Chain A
Amino acid sequence: MKNPLESLPWTIALGVVLTIILIVIVNAAGA
């Protein structure tokens, strides 16, 4: 399988997904 980092759209999509996961964690932590 191709490394998703070789694709710019996949890189951006993964960055957005990571951001959303962290937003949920930060909210749950009560910041």
Chain B
Amino acid sequence: MHFDLEYYKFIIRVFHVLCGVMWIGLLWYFNFVQIPNMKNIPDDQKPAIGKVIAPAALFWFRWGAAGTVLFGLWLASLNGYIASALSLGLDVFGGNVKHLPIGIGMWFGLIMAFNVWFVIWPHQKRALGLVAAEPAQKAKSARIAMLFSRTNTLLSIPMLYFMVSAQNLYHVS
């Protein structure tokens, strides 16, 4: 083993995966564990989730998303296919169709990260009382955050399928 360009790309991929596990792990925690069980927690104990657990989970969730995108775009750039993948392998943009699978994974990841930073996080801040909001606005924000979190859970399935298949079925790494 040599500490050459291939190793440099490998290390960037490791950081991409580490951040991705942090991000999607917490996304699935919210959707598979926290949201479905909130109704089972007595009202006097709910602040333990709303005031302590959820803000801490959201911190690692949104920075995990940022790290995943940063290291992912860095890796795609080092591999020389960032433009081809983001143009979904379309000829008209000078793309190669073999980059279509990784392109689909990348676009889903980018849409999901956008949802985290610009929809879920601003609405969660209101829902959890981290910024001032009327009770009606809090309830509305909680619902919007939940639906976009669910949207990301839906998108995480094809996103991970195409990320993993790009490397293992289509041999684009």
Q: How far is the CB of A16 from chain B (nearest CB, A)?
A: 6
- With beta carbons under 8 angstroms apart, the residue of A16, A26, A30 that contacts B157 is A16
In residues 1-31 of chain A, which contact B (Cβ within 8 Å)? 3, 5-6, 8, 11-12, 14-16, 18-19, 22-23, 26, 29-31
Q: Complex Cα distance A15/B43, Å?
A: 33
Contacts of B162 in A (CB 8 A): 22, 26
B154→A26 contact, CB < 8 A? no
B173 in contact (CB, < 8 A): no
Distance of A15 Cα from B156 Cα, bound (Å): 8
- Are B97 and A11 in contact, CB atoms less than 8 angstroms apart? no
A2 CA / B110 CA spacing, docked (Å): 28
B112 to chain A, nearest CB (A): 12
Q: How many pairs of residues, A versus B, come closer than 8 Å at their CB atoms?
A: 54
A11 to B154 alpha-carbon distance, docked (Å)? 5
Within residues 35 to 55 of chain B, which ones have a CB less than 8 A from any CB in chain A? 36
Tell me whether B77 is interfacial, beta carbon within 8 Å: no
Q: Is the interface of B mostly helix, strand, loop or mixed?
A: helix
Instruction: Answer whether residue B167 sits at the interface, using C-beta atoms and an 8 A cutoff.
Output: no
Q: Which stretch of B65-73, B114-122, B126-134, B145-153 is in the interface?
A: B145-153
Q: Which of A5, A16, A26, A30 has the most CB of B within 10 A?
A: A26
Q: How far is the CB of A27 from chain B (nearest CB, A)?
A: 10
Q: Which residues on the A side are within 8 Å of B100 (C-beta)? A: 26, 29, 31
CB-CB under 8 A from B36, the residues of chain A are 8
Residues B97 and A30 in contact, CB atoms below 8 Å apart:
yes
Q: Which partner residue on chain A sits nearest B105 by CB separation?
A: A22
Contact (A5, B150) CB under 8 Å given A26-B101, A29-B97: yes
Q: For the complex, what is the distance from the CA of A31 to the CA of B172, rounded to whole Å?
A: 11
Contacts A19-B161, A29-B100 given; 10 further ones with Cβ under 8 A?
A5-B150, A6-B150, A11-B150, A12-B153, A15-B155, A18-B158, A19-B157, A22-B158, A22-B161, A26-B101
